[in-house]
Amino acid sequence: MTKPLYLPPVPALGRIDIHSHLLPGIDDGCEDIDQCIDCINQLKAVGYTGTICTPHIIPDTFPDNTWENIIQWVADLRVELANRSVDYTIWPGGEINLQENMPDWLEENGVPTLAGSNRVLMDHWADTWPTWFPTVIQWFIDKGYQPILAHPERVRCTWDEPEKLDELLDMGVWLQGNFLSIVGEHGPAPDQSVRQFIEQQKYKIMAMDMHRPDALPSRIDGMAIVQKEYGSPTLDYFTVDAPRQLILKHLL
């Protein structure tokens, strides 16, 4: 029996992270509940009040990460947080690693949307854009989903073939940037690209893409850099307004 999809209301105040490997023990994110709570406490300290949990959807690597299981795991985590008196809102989602045959797998196992919306977070790693990429993107669009491509600034094909990324934008794909990219830890190309995409207003939203507690401070530093270089209104749009207006509006 499929777990009912419970979607808690959106906190009236605070930042919302839409890309997070917060669920413990199911991918390369938090290893256990203690790490999960450590991350939540760090996020709360910089104004976050909610997170969409987006574990990796890579069938060959994490075969159990189906939409049904993610819904159950988020429900279980809510219970754990309540038992430990941790006041923090979480919703289910997923980060789909795009592959040529991914539509077939999703047809069988369900499409993990962001908090029950029609928004779908996805990523892809390649040196050159594969020829099948627009076809798979079009599959999502034809099914009524809004594709969101995560951290394009980190992927070589976007550096070498930026016109292909513009073609995806023309198709209606949204872009989500990572705060860590602007710190420089991923190298000069992502550091340059993330600033370029902010200045060209190509991002719809930015997120932590948090994994474990020890890696979260650098992402928080990135958020502070965005605030310093582009102003508090820009940071607040990416982390307060955009999550509510673009993704969670059906819950308001």
191-245 residue pLDDT tens? 999 999 999 999 999 999 999 999 999 999 999 999 999 999 999 999 999 999 9
Expressed in angstroms, the distance from the first to the final Cα of the chain is 28
Task: Report the distance separating Cα 46 and Cα 2, nearest Å.
Answer: 35
- Cβ atoms of 151 and 176 within 8 Å: the answer is yes
H helices of the chain, in order, are: 33-45, 67-83, 102-109, 133-142, 156-160, 162-171, 188-199, 216-230, 232-236, 242
Q: Which tokens in the block code for residue 67?
A: 């939409």
Structural domain spans, the chain = 15-251
| DSSP for residue 250 | G
Question: What is the pTM (predicted TM-score) of this model?
Answer: 0.97
Task: Report the distance separating Cα 86 and Cα 84, nearest Å.
Answer: 6
What are the φ/ψ torsions at residue 90 (nearest 5 degrees)? -130, 150
CATH no., domain 15-251: 3.20.20.140
| pLDDT one-digit tens code per residue, 51-110 | 999 999 999 999 999 999 999 999 999 999 999 999 999 999 999 999 999 999 999 999
Closest CA to 102 of 166, 145, 71: 145
Task: Report the distance separating Cα 60 and Cα 58, nearest Å.
Answer: 6
According to the model, what pLDDT value does residue 2 have?
52
| DSSP for residue 213 | G
Closest CA to 173 of 186, 164, 182: 164
